[in-house]
Structure 1
Amino acid sequence: MIGYKYRANAIEGKGSTRDIESLLNDEIWASSFRNLNDPFEATYTDEISKVLPIFNQVFNVNIGDIQKNWKELMAFKDKLGIYSLSTSDKDFPDNELMWAHYANSHKGFCIAYDVEKLEDSEKFSLYVNRMTINYSEKPPQIEITDIKSPNFIIKLFGTKSAVWQYEKEIRLLYTNYGMKKYNPFTLKAIYFGLNMDKQYQAQIIENLENRDVKFYKMERKDKSYNLVPTLICENQRKIENKLSSDQYEILKIDHNHIVENFHVLYKGIKKDKESLINFSSKFREQYATKPSNINIYDSKACIDLIGKYPLYGKEKTLFANHLIALSMFDTPDDILLYPDKY
């Protein structure tokens, strides 16, 4: 998923280019709730506190621990960090209001992030939670039954007034606010606003020289109120002896917080161990954003079996015959040939 962050760029009258500096340093700022621009953030009707005394009276239940835990949870809110992103129904940031409100009337720029990689940049998955914002005419009511509901966190920290619906927000909720570093692979593209100063555009392009990033300039579409992006240049990492695109095809990528699993169709002629070790090494250099397993196949005949478990009979034999090599994340300089054959 691609998430867009609209940036103001220079702060008028102060000469600050904080947004550019954060971009070039691979940093984002996860704000506390109290510093967000919506004063109604995390607003809800607390029905839990109302009903607990009733439980105490009717069922003679000791509610002391429950009240304590509930208050601790509410206090924990002040430590949380929020990083908000906007989504788009198109493959570029087309939100006219977001450009006007958050990108300094088009003097700024918009960053396209790979949201999964942004989330994965945190060391531990428990430190960050991704949510799609729910928009409502009224604040949600928090009931006791909500505590075990998967929507509990959304009700508490991911519900906003319907007037904000134009933002199409997704947010990353961190266990603490502050500066966060992200993996360089997270950054996918930069879109320059209609009125952005060319010197700032050049500064960004130049300083992201050895990165796989596309740069666009937003333009007005004729005879409409719509915006359209024009590709002005593309930076690429400098990789010696880069793999040719006719040597392979990526069949599937499985992401998790610890490792990445790549399933790759190998089109090379040489299938000896040395050749496949060299291939997996170059593939990692080009694509891996964290420790990774490289599963190498010689045919698409088993593509529908990838990830299927367990396999029996003919399916098991078919898969074993075409999974020709596996390079493990913990032994990247070695390779297992036909790892599923017995």
Structure 2
Amino acid sequence: MTHFLDQFDHGENSQYLFHYCKLDQRKFDSILKSQIYLDDVRNFNDPYELHYLHTADSDDWAEQAKDYCKENDLPYDQDTFQKFIDRISSDPVERETAMIRMAENYSVCCFSRELLNPIMWAHYADNHKGICLIYGFDLGIGEGNLVGIPDLDGKQISMFLDDVSYQDTFPVFSAKKDPNTEMKNRKILSTKGKVWEYEKEVRIVSKRRPGLVSIKEKSLKGICFGLRFPKLSIEMYVSFLQKRFSWLKFYQIEKEIKTYEIKVFQL
């Protein structure tokens, strides 16, 4: 992959990411308008999105536990506190409320760090009949010292990059009300089980509402067509897009002859 990315101009803080997708009219329009789509995490295909465990740290839940004891005329002791933690940990309404709050506060766009993954092409690029968009984002530092993509005016950063963490255990939710805890809780949005590790996923996480958002035109560096993308359609798209975006490079996936791997060639 090194020789492949070397074909692009690298800025000092550039980050290259890949977005697999089906090329329908909606996606084509977003390409022409230099937009990406920030989605509600609850629309994703992993049923464990936003799943978490409650921390049993008394400092985190002290105020809520005291209110619970007062409302139910109970003594505030270790036994009662543990019962309170057990209740909120197992209460589906409590859990669903926290998950909804998290989903409504953030929206997400998904990318991968890998182009030559046959499974990704099958799952997310219309069974190898779709495309993979090649982005090169110039990054900056924003809130909480997090790395993100500057807005079009360059004055602020509202979209932050998060590498997905793959682990065997669920992330932990804390009830503390402070900025540091909010940042830690936000990792729930980018934590998945190890079974998904092959995706090498990177997420743009934003407090924007779900929907299309404009990015710098030249963030899109190239388009790679799947190995089953019709040849005549490729010629049509390349001819049209080259007139619109003169810097774009175009590629297609093909099969290796002696292994189960795939490779990319430039059109």
Compute the TM-score of the two structures, normalised by the length of structure 2.
Answer: 0.69
Whose Rg is larger?
1
Query: Counterpart of 2:37?
Result: 29
Query: Counterpart of 2:263?
Result: 228
1:110 aligns with 2:145: no
| Number of equivalences | 211
Distance in 2 separating the partners of 1:102 and 1:157 = 20
Contact 1:24 1:207 in 2 (8 A): no
| Larger relative contact order (CA 8 Å, sep ≥ 6) | 2
Distance in 2 separating the partners of 1:162 and 1:73 = 21
Provide Cα deviations, 1:234-291, integer angstroms capped at 9, x if missing partner. xxxxxxxxxxxxxxxxxxxxxxxxxxxxxxxxxxxxxxxxxxxxxxxxxxxxxxxxxx
Q: How far apart are residue 139 of structure 1 and its match?
A: 1.3
Query: Counterpart of 1:155?
Result: 187
The equivalent position to 1:198 in structure 2, one of 231, 244, 252, is: 231
Amino acid at match of 1:29: Y
Provide Cα deviations, 1:178-201, integer angstroms capped at 9, x if missing partner. 111111110111111111023432
Task: Please tell me the root mean square deviation across aligned C-alpha atoms, in Å.
Answer: 3.0
Q: Which runs of structure 2 are paired with 1:319-338 in the superposition (5 Å)?
A: none
Distance in 1 separating the partners of 2:187 and 2:171 = 6
Distance in 1 separating the partners of 2:162 and 2:185 = 9
Q: How far apart are residue 153 of structure 1 and its match?
A: 4.2
Distance in 2 separating the partners of 1:48 and 1:32 = 28
Q: How far apart are residue 119 of structure 1 and its match?
A: 2.0
Q: How far apart are residue 125 of structure 1 and its match?
A: 3.5
Unaligned runs of 5+ in 2: 1-14, 68-75, 78-96, 140-147
Contact 1:187 1:213 in 2 (8 A): yes
Distance in 1 separating the partners of 2:177 and 2:16 = 30
Taking only the aligned residue pairs, the percentage that are identical comes to 25
Amino acid at match of 2:30: S
1:81 aligns with 2:107: yes
Amino acid at match of 1:141: V
Contact 1:20 1:204 in 2 (8 A): no
CA distance 1:77–1:204, shift in 2 (3 Å): same
Query: Counterpart of 2:7?
Result: none
Query: Counterpart of 1:250?
Result: none
Contact 1:108 1:193 in 2 (8 A): yes
Amino acid at match of 1:212: W
Q: How far apart are residue 126 of structure 1 and its match?
A: 4.5
Q: How far apart are residue 3 of structure 1 and its match?
A: 0.6
Query: Counterpart of 1:101?
Result: 123
Provide Cα deviations, 1:305-329, integer angstroms capped at 9, x if missing partner. xxxxxxxxxxxxxxxxxxxxxxxxx
Could you say what secondary structure the match of 2:101 adopts?
Answer: helix
Distance in 1 separating the partners of 2:49 and 2:99 = 16
Q: Which runs of structure 2 are paired with 1:13-24 in the superposition (5 Å)?
A: 17-24=25-32
Distance in 2 separating the partners of 1:196 and 1:183 = 27
CA distance 1:119–1:222, shift in 2 (3 Å): same
Q: How far apart are residue 206 of structure 1 and its match?
A: 2.4
Q: How far apart are residue 227 of structure 1 and its match?
A: 1.0
More off after superposition, 133-142 vs 166-175: 133-142
The equivalent position to 1:2 in structure 2, one of 1, 4, 16, is: 16
CA distance 1:172–1:19, shift in 2 (3 Å): same
1:120 aligns with 2:120: no
CA distance 1:79–1:142, shift in 2 (3 Å): closer
Distance in 2 separating the partners of 1:158 and 1:139 = 11
Distance in 2 separating the partners of 1:142 and 1:54 = 16
Q: How far apart are residue 144 of structure 1 and its match?
A: 5.5
Query: Counterpart of 1:174?
Result: 206
CA distance 1:122–1:32, shift in 2 (3 Å): farther
Could you say what secondary structure the match of 1:115 adopts?
Answer: strand
Provide Cα deviations, 1:178-231, integer angstroms capped at 9, x if missing partner. 111111110111111111023432333223224311111111112011111111
Q: How far apart are residue 151 of structure 1 and its match?
A: 6.1
Contact 1:98 1:167 in 2 (8 A): yes
Query: Counterpart of 1:218?
Result: 253
CA distance 1:76–1:44, shift in 2 (3 Å): closer
Unaligned runs of 5+ in 1: 11-16, 59-70, 233-342
